[in-house]
Amino acid sequence: MYAYMDGFFVYLQTEKNASPNTIKNYDNDLYDGLIFFARALAKDDYSIHPAQITKNLFRSYLADMHARQKSGATIARRMSTWRSFFKYLCREGVLEDNPLVRVNTPKRDRRLPIFLAEEEMKQLVECPPQQKLLGARDHAILETLYSAGIRVSELVGINISDIDLNTGTIKVTAKGDRERLVPLGSYALEAIRFYMNQVRPQLIDVNQGRQDALFLNNKGGRLTDRGVRWLVKRYVQQLRIHIKTSPHTFRHSYATHLLDNGADLRSVQELLGHARLSTTQIYTHLSKERVKRVYDQCHPRA
């Protein structure tokens, strides 16, 4: 089984242009299933041939995940991973049929995204001490997250050449190496200009050679996802915000505030870089929930 999995990962990397994080997630999903199948087939050495994983055995795996109280989203993702794996094996001639063709994907939990109110977001992006070196950098980071609504992976991937201060846009690379141009607001542009002119030159480490990354850590290297999560957590704790807040909360808040202030759904889809409109539509449900709550609280005959 391991040889087939390795071949699948090479296929994902070379033909599907999958990112290392995507391949790592696929690996974790396949390994979780492999543990169950090995136990069910009494194969302590994991010497399983893919043909031994039947439709009924996979349904037992679904039941096992339910018993372990895995979320609907996790179960659906793992099933999608295995479906893709079996499809690859059919293409390679290892299997004649995909055993998951007639296995229904479990219904996913539909959770509304967590977001901050406009005033809370304003306080958060202005929280870093802008008179300090790293505070000014953090201020530019938070302004960019909220102004552009980008993912943390997109933020840390931004290079100097990706930002155009004249047009007020940045080029970000999304999942699957898809690129898109995202506009920046005046507050973010001002914070980035100050950071680039006054702060970034002081963070550059000459020993590391040329550094193209826009946002640098205190050692002069490219800032990481973990670094951004840590600084967001720090300022959230300072403000004593009780809502669970992460860099992705900025993206949820960005979309929600746009729709609340009259933006149309197609434009928000384009700005977020969603391939499907259905992905963006969850924010309309969020706005409807808020409107209904306001109505219930304020109308005398609600």
Which H/E stretch holds residue 12? helix 2-14
Cα four-point dihedral sign 176, 179, 183, 188: positive
Which residue type sits at 147? S
139 is catalytic: no
Which entry of 171, 222, 274, 290 is annotated as an active-site residue? Answer: 274
Length of the chain: 302
DSSP string, 123-185: HHHT-S-TTSHHHHHHHHHHHHHHHH---HHHHHT-BGGGEETTTTEEEEE-GGG-EEEEE--
Distance CA 46, CA 42 (A): 9
- CB of 259 within 8 A of CB of 115? no
Which entry of 77, 139, 251, 257 is annotated as an active-site residue? Answer: 251
Which H/E stretch holds residue 115? none
274 is catalytic: yes
Q: In what order do the strands lie in the sheet with 179-183?
A: 163-164, 169-173, 179-183
Which entry of 175, 180, 222, 229 is annotated as an active-site residue? Answer: 175
Enter the DSSP assignment of 51.
G
Q: Which two tokens mark 75?
A: 């179960």
- CB of 124 within 8 A of CB of 236? yes
In degrees to the nearest 10, what's the CA dihedral of 175, 179, 180, 183? 90
- CB of 223 within 8 A of CB of 215? yes
Cα four-point dihedral sign 283, 255, 253, 291: negative
210 is catalytic: no
Which entry of 151, 200, 252, 257 is annotated as an active-site residue? Answer: 151
66 is catalytic: no
Q: Annotated active-site positions, please?
A: 151, 175, 248, 251, 274, 283
